[in-house]
Structure 1
Amino acid sequence: MAEPSCVLGDPEGPGNVFVRTIGLAGVATFLFRNKHAIRGNFARTEGLWSVLETPDDPVNVSVRSVGLAGVVMWAVLVDLVKLNWLDSNLLKQRAGNRIEYQDFVSYIEIDPEMQKYPQNIFMTTDTPTNVKITTSKTPEDQITCFNSSITIRYPDFGTNVSSELKAIRIRSTENITVAVSAHHDITTLIPTEKLSTSYIVSPPSPDRRFQTFDAMTITALQDNTSIVLSELGLSVITNYTLDALETRIHRNADVLAYNIQSSKPVAVFCGMYCMSDVNCSNMIEQIPPSNQLDTIYIVPPNIDMLRTSATIITEKNTFITIRGITIPFGPGRRTRLSITDNVLVLRSVDPILVTSQAFHKDASVGSPYLTVVPGVNQYLPWYKVVVPSGWNTNYIAVMMRKSAVSGLRANKQSIKANTIRFEKNIAIEDLEYSVIIAEVAEGELTLDTIDNTPFGLMVYGNRLGAGYGFAGNVLR
């Protein structure tokens, strides 16, 4: 049996952790420098709970760790904390703490611009990890190892000789965040464990200056997945069955909003797709399932003279407060609101889907992009993203409580005043929020707050003839 290894902690900290192993005799001592916690068969650092199981036969355990001020000691009897190096396909559930490999799916569309602008996968991690990328049609896997962030081209998998839609599955041995590009635009991928069987979707606004069609794609996670596509609140349009990683594209037929119901979880993407390589830019955005929608949204503007519209989609009868006025909304209603240099606040009685779409006034200057707006209750205190290279300007839009702004950090540093391009304070009920848009450099970007206050994050950028945008997080 090969000796496995495990990396613990922050590689920037001092010192090394080592493990002395005493096989069958019974005691494995994990020396440490910091706090530790043991709950049943779990040993925990400040990060995730790690499952340890013991084999019946004698075994020597080798644990290797990078040095770090955050590395933890584990001192446990083998009888209590058992060690088993798990299969690469899953991690087990123990004591109500779900621990599993991160798992994502995405589709790839072959269009005329693929050779000029190949699709990329952007991945970040806080722990060194292995990532496996597969398709349903090919036996070979692409395995990538990285320890912070990485940008890779979509695997070939024969896609350069096929015109059909294909899907890939991305599995990681540690927690990661993943975003993918489609020609220009970028979307954050949703872990498959968060995907579901019910969605509401509204295609983006078509812009006749671009040779595109607006549409959505549906990708199955499991075989024999039945799908029913309806006009939201009205009749069924079509139904069919897909096997694992099969993908179907639906061109929009002047339907304002769709409802998708499936027998098993599916991944849903929405955007605009190129019909030619002339004045064209794909838009892509993965849509969160209905059970992940929120009731309060802060929609920031897009600077650089970009025209922004926010689209609201309702699934049931509800009331939405817009610019201080409460309006009744029926099921399946789609409303688009223009945003110029202001901030839009939306409050709904029931969960709604909100997307942000940006266009430049001059089509030759910047192409459109689409972004799901994160709800206030979905904000997180920490993000790690890759700001893509090759763009003239890149921005972050941060929505957070005003009282916590001074504690916001980008790559462990305060946001520099000379990078801020927009700042506005708004009130939501009894709380005051700040919206800050700052210019950032390309590359890895970690954002957090000193006091762990959650905040919303949207990233976007542009160059001549192109634009992109994605959210840091769209889930609760």
Structure 2
Amino acid sequence: MTKYLLVILGVFICFEQGFVRGTCLDFCDSARSGRGTKNCYIKTTCIGYTTRRCGFLWGKTCTTGSYTRYLSKKSCCPISCKVNGHWGSWSSWSSYQCSATCGAGTRTYKRRRNCNDPTPKNGGNSCHGSAEESLHKYCLLNYCRVNGGWSSWESWSSVSSCSVTCGKGIMKHTRKRFCNNPRPKYGGTQCSGMAKEGTTKECYAGRHCPVDGSWGNWTEWIPKSPCSVTCGLGIQVVQKKRMCDHPKPTYGGKDCIGEPEKKMEKACSIGTACPEKGSIKCMAKQCSEYGRCGCSFGFYGDGFTCTGSRGKQFLVLFMENAIDYFSIKDHFSKLYIASRSNSIISLKTSSSLPTKMKNKLSKSFRVKRSQADIKIPVHMRAVDMKTEKKGILVETSETTSLFAVNHDGWSSDSTLILPVERLGRRYIVGSSAPFNSRSSDYNSQVGFVAAEDGTTVTMTLNIAGGHELRFKNKTYKSGQTMQFHLEKYEDFQLSDSHDLTGTLIESSKPIAVFAGNKCNKLNRFGYCSHLVEQLPPTNNLDKTFIVPPSLLRTGGLIRVVAVSKTNIEYQIDGAKTKKTLENSQYCDIEVKDKSITYIKADKPVLVLSFAVRIGRRGGGDPYMTLVPGLQQYIHQYHVAIPRGFKTNYMTIMISSKSKTYLRLNMKKVSPNSILSDKCLTIDEGKYCTMIIKVGGGAHQVETTDGTRFGLLIHGQDQGDGYGYAANVVSPGIV
């Protein structure tokens, strides 16, 4: 048996931790690094392995096991120690913007330091103090603007003597202030306002002034004699007194100038009526030339003179109307007569009128009490810019009221016809601006007819917009005159595509004047309609007017025409407006609702009211109505209302105190027929406008207490309308 040799080898691996070789110092750097060394013993761990030869022919070494051996030996070990922090150097100063963009401010500077010389280690103390330091310094970029401010006012100082030598007067005073609180600097603004102001203060001259006497109020009129009549209205002497005590004359002042008492003759009545004869009621055996008479129905006066729009002779001219070719058979001109008794009516025309036409017109008619109408051939309408013989004289055996209607299809209007004795020799024209100046259908018109032979008529033109018109190869401008020579019943009609309102007409003898438009529309809605009114002479115009709404579904345009320079004031819903009109000038007042308009002028004016269609659904096209003034009101009317219109209305302007005394056809007005009743308070008292629906035919309207009131008649149909005043001549203040 072969024996093998087993060789066992031992391998040792030793591990030493944390030791320092070389000389060992017992020391620690507490100033900077915080590291040091000290003598120490360290443990050494040795791991050993046992091996043997193995493998083929023992060519390999194989590990058979391991073991650990611990050794201890002296060494030099590293240590750490506390290092307290210290501040490093300060950084450079850094600066920030000035705190103010103008004027004095401050600029901030800052610097920093770090706790890194050394940095605290191993639990050492941190640095004491602040790591940042600030510094504030004064800075000024620009001076700020300083706006000026006023100082306090100085005391008042007088700059004049007392304005009077007796009694109380005024003295002028002034005071100053300065722009120095502060003064404006560096582009600042100056003070606004006045540096100096003045005032007046009351002063006393040292003695009383003489006080002149002034009259106090008059007493009421007191009868001094009995009534002069035995029937109707007469005269009676009445007296009133006043005292010179408002104030009494003192300090050597003058006594009042004038009479301390007045006497006058005033209308009176003993309650017995006189039979009627024309416009005057009189019986030869009972009435004397001194006024034992009274005014007939529909007239107003003092027993000597009666005035109104009723009469026995009327001069008529029908103006040209635009032809409605869609209703060629519905063309006519008519006279409507309202008579309170049976009457004979005669028509007279110029002796030069063609025989055929004259025979148609020169007739007499017997009409019964109430209303009658007479158809006038349309060929009797005036033609533009031509002298003709188309005047018609209407004579009645009894006192009547006369109205004219010009109708062409859907184009109609009407007018009150004035008695011949109410005609005058001076007129101002009222019309409206033609809707389209390129069509003659809208032309502004004025026509006149002579009542007597040898009449000279002079027209001073007023043409809107500086327009010119041509007549007989001659051009006429505003301010220039046209002259015409007419015989009895001869007429002339002037027509232009621009407004003729304000044209003045003067004549050597009485004439009848008519004005309006051939056919006009006053806004873009609806259709045109004929506009016409007979004008009253200028001596019958008034100063104070109440203009009611024209119709319940329309607006209104009011035109005020001045004869001479006139101051007017008009009021709508409490809002007052003042205007001054020069000669022949006019102003328009637009009323878009159901408001009442009050107009007051310091001189007589002509007032026209145009009913205006203000919306596509509004009923009726325009018509023109003269508005009577308060002094043109009378207390009795007998009027004719044309038949054939869908609705007819009366508009009554009356004192609110007298509404209960109003009678329509001798009966109280039915509340069911009153469509509107609005009131307003004016200088003359409280007045109301009542719109009453009535039928066609004759109507008698009056007050039982004798209160005068205004009356307008108007009506409308589908796309048509008419309107006129029941009286436009002035009885005056009685």
TM tier relative to shorter chain: 0.7 to 0.9
- After superposition, the Cα gap between the structure-2 partners of 1:166 and 1:50, relative to the gap in structure 1 and judged at 3 Å, is closer
Which residue identity is paired with 1:175? Answer: T
> How far is the alpha carbon of 1:101 from its aligned partner?
6.5
Once residues 232 and 570 of structure 2 are traced to their aligned partners in structure 1, the CA distance between those partners, rounded to angstroms, is 47
1:143 aligns with 2:367: no
Matches within 5 A, 1:360-439: 360-361=613-614, 362=616, 365-439=619-693
Q: Measured at CA, do residues 358 and 178 of structure 1 come closer, stay the same or move farther in structure 2, by a change above 3 Å?
A: same
Change (3 A) 1:441 1:108: same
State which of 196, 200, 204 in structure 1 corresponds to 2:432. 204
Q: Is the 8 A contact 2:338 2:400 kept in 1?
A: yes
Residue 536 of structure 2 aligns with which residue? 288
| Pair 144,342 (structure 1): closer, same or farther in 2 beyond 3 Å | same
Q: What residue in structure 1 maps to residue 461 of structure 2? A: 231
CA distance in 2, matches of 1:96, 1:408: 26
RMSD of Structure 2 on Structure 1 (CA): 3.5
Q: Tell me the equivalent position of 1:68.
A: none
Deviation at 1:149, TM superposition (A): 2.7
Give 3-state SS (helix, strand or coil) of 2:443's partner.
strand
Distance in 2 between the 1:132 and 1:471 partners?
Answer: 24
Compared CA separation, residues 272 and 38, structure 1 to 2 (3 A): closer
- What SS class does the counterpart of residue 332 from structure 1 fall into? coil
Quick check: 1:232–1:331 contact (8 Å CA) kept in 2? no
Q: Counterparts of 1:98 and 1:337 in 2: how far apart (Å)? A: 34
Residue pair 1:301, 1:342 contacting (<8 A) in 2 also: yes
Q: Does 1:334 align with 2:586?
A: yes
Deviation at 1:141, TM superposition (A): 2.2
- After superposition, the Cα gap between the structure-2 partners of 1:383 and 1:273, relative to the gap in structure 1 and judged at 3 Å, is same
Show the 5 A alignment for 1:70-469. Answer: 102-109=312-319, 112=323, 115-136=329-350, 137=353, 138=358, 141-156=362-377, 159=380, 166-183=390-407, 184-208=412-436, 211-231=441-461, 235-252=479-496, 253-274=498-519, 280-323=528-571, 324-339=576-591, 340-361=593-614, 362=616, 365-469=619-723
1:153 CA drift (Å): 3.0
CA distance 1:279–1:355, shift in 2 (3 Å): closer
Cα pair distance change 1:263/1:424, threshold 3 Å = same
CA pair 125-166 structure 1, distance change in 2 beyond 3 A: same
Unaligned runs of 5+ in 2: 1-229, 235-271, 289-302, 464-477, 521-525
Equivalence for 1:19: none
Percent identity, aligned pairs only? 24
Report if the CA contact (8 A) 2:634-2:708 is conserved: yes
SS in 2 for 1:174: strand
Q: Structure 1 stretch 114-123 or stretch 442-451: which is displaced more? A: 114-123
Per the alignment, do residues 454 and 119 of structure 1 end up closer, same or farther by CA in structure 2, a change over 3 Å counting? same
Name the counterpart of 2:274.
46
Q: Which deviates further from its counterpart, 258-267 or 121-130?
A: 121-130
* Partner-residue secondary structure (3-state), 1:366: coil
Q: How much has 1:207 moved relative to structure 2?
A: 3.5
Alpha-carbon distance in 1 for matches of 2:685, 2:233: 38
C-alpha deviations, 1:284-316, integer Å up to 9, x for none? 110100000001000011223212111000111
Which is further off, 426-435 or 342-351?
Answer: 426-435
| Residues in 2 aligned to 1:379 and 1:125: alpha-carbon distance in whole angstroms | 20
Give the Cα–Cα distance (whole angstroms) in 1 for the partners of residues 586 and 396 of structure 2. 37
After TM superposition, give the deviation of residue 327 of structure 1 in Å.
Answer: 2.9
Alignment partners' CA distance in 2, 1:471 and 1:193: 18
Is the CA contact 2:460–2:505 (under 8 Å) kept in the aligned structure 1? Answer: yes
Three-state SS of the structure 2 residue aligned to 1:204 is coil
Structure 1 294/274 Cα, relative in aligned 2: closer, same or farther at 3 Å?
closer
Task: Provide Cα deviations, 1:402-457, integer angstroms capped at 9, x if missing partner.
Answer: 10001111111211212222111112215111111111122221111110111000
Shift of 1:142: 1.6
Letter in structure 1 aligned against 2:460: S
Q: Distance in 2 between matches of 1:299 and 1:107?
A: 27
Distance in 2 (alpha carbons) for counterparts of 1:371 and 1:38: 33
Alignment of 1:32-71 (within 5 A): 46-49=274-277
The amino acid of 1:387's aligned partner reads I
Report the CA distance between 1:232 and its aligned residue: 5.1
Q: Secondary structure at the match of 1:150?
A: strand
CA distance in 2, matches of 1:104, 1:190: 6
Deviation per residue, 1:66-98 (Å, 9 max, x gap): xxxxxx997969xx9xxxxxxxxxxxxxx9779
**What stretches of structure 1 of length at least 5 have no aligned partner?**
1-34, 52-71, 81-94
* Deviation (angstroms), 1:247: 1.2
Equivalent residues of 2:449, 2:492 under 8 A apart: yes
- Residues 243/74 of structure 1: CA separation in 2 closer, same or farther (3 Å cut): closer
SS of 1:377 mapped into structure 2:
helix
CA distance in 2, matches of 1:177, 1:50: 13
Residues 315-374 of structure 1: CA distance to partner in whole angstroms, max 9, x if unpaired?
112221211344332222110101231001111111000011112234994221111101
Moved more, 183-192 or 136-145: 136-145
**TM-score, normalised relative to structure 1:** 0.76
Whichever of the two has the greater Rg, that structure is 2
AA aligned to 1:333 is Q
Q: 1: distance between equivalents of 2:363 and 2:618?
A: 37
Paired AA for residue 452 in structure 1? G
CA contact (8 A) 1:119 1:180 kept: yes
Quick one: distance in 1 between partners of 2:284 and 2:641? 40
Q: TM-score, normalised by structure 2?
A: 0.50
Shift of 1:126: 2.2
For residue 631 of structure 2, give the secondary structure of its aligned residue in structure 1.
helix
Q: What is the SS of the residue equivalent to 2:672? A: helix
Once residues 256 and 110 of structure 1 are traced to their aligned partners in structure 2, the CA distance between those partners, rounded to angstroms, is: 18
- CA separation of 1:150 and 1:144: change in aligned 2, threshold 3 A: farther
Q: 2: distance between equivalents of 1:224 and 1:469? A: 34
| Change beyond 3 A, Cα 1:420–1:128 | same
Total equivalences in the alignment? 401
Structure 1 distance, partners of 2:670, 2:311, is 37
Question: 1:212 Cα shift?
Answer: 2.7
